[in-house]
Amino acid sequence: MKHKNIVLLFAILNIAFYCQTNAQTVAFDNDSNLIYNPSFEQHSSCPARIEPYGIMDEVVAWWQPTGGSSDYYNPCGGKQCKIPKNKLGIQYPRSGESMVGIYCSLTDYREYIQTQLKEPLVQGEKYKLSFWVSLSEYSKGAVATIGGLFTKERINDTTRQMLTDRQQKQISSKIKQNISTYYKPQVVNSFNRPLYDTEQWMKIEDTFIAQGGEQFLTIGNFYPEEQSNLINPQNTTNILPGAYYYIDDVELYCLTCSQKKETNGVVISKTKDTVSYTVGKVVVLENIFFDFDKSVLLPQSYVELLNLTKLLNEHPNMKIELSGHTDNKGKESYNQKLSTLRAQAVYDYLTSQGIDKKRLKYKGYGATQPIADNKTDEGRAKNRRVEFKIIDM
């Protein structure tokens, strides 16, 4: 049971310590944080229960990249997902009303959470990632090596074990070999600092230099048990089979980025690449995701939808037609209906964000307009898409 007075006292001491030790640090505003929905407050629905094979699809801009079923906690949720007491432990969020939870070790089973950054990381720039974790007192053990992995590509794996980088290597014209290697997170908690506190939130924080182009952040334990500094703390009840952690307040800031840089005495303004938008231009929405055979938008679509909303707000005279497309599997009538519903889902999202209906149209084309070969999995994936065409500027 939590001791609120002790927690309050520690909170006051922590604030005082932070103010004293960080008086000379640079302050960042919320807009500088490159993480959308950093404390998991925004949600599309309330979590109903803890599903052992479920999908965390309630949280805006966050999702699970593997078959491990990450969990969302909110006061609006069912009894198993409540705050502070829930099926997997007892904890208040570090800030706000919400938090998420993942298994990190002890057994082969692992869980992870993933998000897309507001913008790709810039090569050579220095970034700082931080997030907070708290061990569930129901856990059987604790680990040290929870970290954050930045990748250029979205991770999408069905594994329920430790996530590894699995690639196929061409040995010869007829032989291919699957190779699996460990991921190396850019930020990871020290091996010598086991994360065993069940009362206080523990901060994981470090800096790194970007390779350039990283767009996705995945949080979890990327190390095998023998490299995770697994311990059996005395303050847990061993109800759960593994080390279960709550996560809150994810922050990512660029420490060296600036709008202007000086080179040989000349100040050069940094500008983003600009795209020319003209009537008739067709743009494929690369990161729009739906459940299989459904028209419900998944949280993975958030960044793409936000960017489209911004584009329409920046060009108030722009009018577009949204079009849905499928591959050639299934009946023609079914594909036609599904493609229409998916285009309508994007239309409904844009209108919910204040975009005037008069500026939008939507239509489904089924499998009649492929952009790739339907004979391959890769080609069919490209054909299953939503795009928009500019019809007026």
* Predicted local distance difference test score (pLDDT) of residue 214: 97
ω before 84 within 30° of 0 (cis)? yes
Report which DSSP code applies to 219.
Answer: E
Contacts of residue 367, defined as CB under 8 A and 6 or more positions apart, other chains included, come to: 325, 326, 327, 328, 332, 335, 374, 383
E strands along 255-331, which residues?
260-263, 266-269, 282-285, 319-325
Closest CA relative to residue 111, chosen from 72, 160, 50: 160
Among 227-236, 285-294, 367-376, top mean pLDDT goes to 227-236
* Predicted local distance difference test score (pLDDT) of residue 7: 37
* Predicted local distance difference test score (pLDDT) of residue 288: 87
Q: How confident is the model at residue 170 (pLDDT cuts 50, 70, 90)?
A: low
pLDDT digits (tens, 9 = 90+) for 193-230: 999 999 999 999 999 999 999 999 999 999 999 999 99
Q: How confident is the model at residue 34 (pLDDT cuts 50, 70, 90)?
A: very high
The pLDDT of 317-327, averaged and rounded, is 92
Dist CA 152 CA 184 (whole Å)? 14
* Predicted local distance difference test score (pLDDT) of residue 298: 85
pLDDT at 69 over 90: yes
Dist CA 116 CA 152 (whole Å)? 10
Q: How confident is the model at residue 5 (pLDDT cuts 50, 70, 90)?
A: very low
Average pLDDT, whole number, for the chain? 86
Dist CA 287 CA 117 (whole Å)? 13
* Predicted local distance difference test score (pLDDT) of residue 28: 52
Lowest mean pLDDT among 132-146, 238-252, 253-267: 253-267
* Predicted local distance difference test score (pLDDT) of residue 11: 40
> CATH top-level class for 28-254?
mainly beta
The pLDDT of 17-39, averaged and rounded, is 62
Contacts of residue 267, defined as CB under 8 A and 6 or more positions apart, other chains included, come to: 260, 261
**Is residue 147 within 8 Å of 204, Cβ to Cβ?**
yes
pLDDT at 2 over 60: no
- 85: burial class by Cβ within 10 Å (0-12, 13-18, 19+)? middle
* Predicted local distance difference test score (pLDDT) of residue 270: 44
pLDDT digits (tens, 9 = 90+) for 71-103: 999 999 999 999 999 999 999 999 999 999 999
pLDDT digits (tens, 9 = 90+) for 174-195: 666 667 789 999 999 999 999 9
pLDDT at 265 over 50: no
The pLDDT of 146-153, averaged and rounded, is 97
pLDDT at 257 over 70: yes
Q: How confident is the model at residue 274 (pLDDT cuts 50, 70, 90)?
A: low
Q: How many helices (H) and strands (E) does the chain have?
A: 4, 20
The SS3 of residue 275 is: coil
> Radius of gyration of the chain from Cα atoms?
23
- DSSP assignment of 169-228 equals EE-SSS-EEEEEEE---SEE--TTS----SSS-EEEEEEEE--S---EEEEEE-S-GGGT
The SS3 of residue 360 is: strand
* Predicted local distance difference test score (pLDDT) of residue 220: 98
Residue boundaries of the structural domains of the chain: 28-254, 282-392
Give me 37's structure tokens. Answer: 């929905």
Enumerate long-range contacts of 119-123, CB under 8 Å, 24 or more apart. Answer: 119/34, 120/152, 120/212, 120/213, 120/214, 120/215, 121/150, 121/210, 121/211, 121/212, 121/213, 121/214, 121/215, 121/254, 122/210, 122/212, 122/254, 122/257, 123/210, 123/211, 123/212, 123/213
Q: How confident is the model at residue 380 (pLDDT cuts 50, 70, 90)?
A: confident
The two beta strands, 266-269 and 113-116, are unpaired
* Predicted local distance difference test score (pLDDT) of residue 385: 87
Answer with the residue of higher pLDDT: 66 or 26: 66
The SS3 of residue 301 is: helix
The two beta strands, 202-209 and 126-135, are antiparallel
Q: What percent of the chain has pLDDT over 70?
A: 85
User: From 3.20.20.70, 3.40.50.300, 3.30.70.20, 3.30.1330.60, which CATH number describes the 282-392 domain?
Assistant: 3.30.1330.60
Q: How confident is the model at residue 26 (pLDDT cuts 50, 70, 90)?
A: very low
Of how many residues is the chain composed?
A: 393
Give me 189's structure tokens. Answer: 């908690």
* Predicted local distance difference test score (pLDDT) of residue 300: 85
* Predicted local distance difference test score (pLDDT) of residue 276: 81
Look up tokens 């009946």; give the residue. 331
Lowest mean pLDDT among 78-82, 304-308, 382-386: 382-386
Residue 51 identity (one-letter amino acid): E
Look up tokens 């739906």; give the residue. 290
* Predicted local distance difference test score (pLDDT) of residue 168: 60
The SS3 of residue 383 is: helix
Give me 110's structure tokens. Answer: 């692992």
* Predicted local distance difference test score (pLDDT) of residue 103: 96
Look up tokens 């329409």; give the residue. 312
The SS3 of residue 312 is: helix
**Is residue 25 within 8 Å of 109, Cβ to Cβ?**
no
pLDDT at 169 over 80: no
Enumerate long-range contacts of 271-278, CB under 8 Å, 24 or more apart. Answer: 277/311, 277/315, 277/318, 277/390, 277/393, 278/390, 278/393
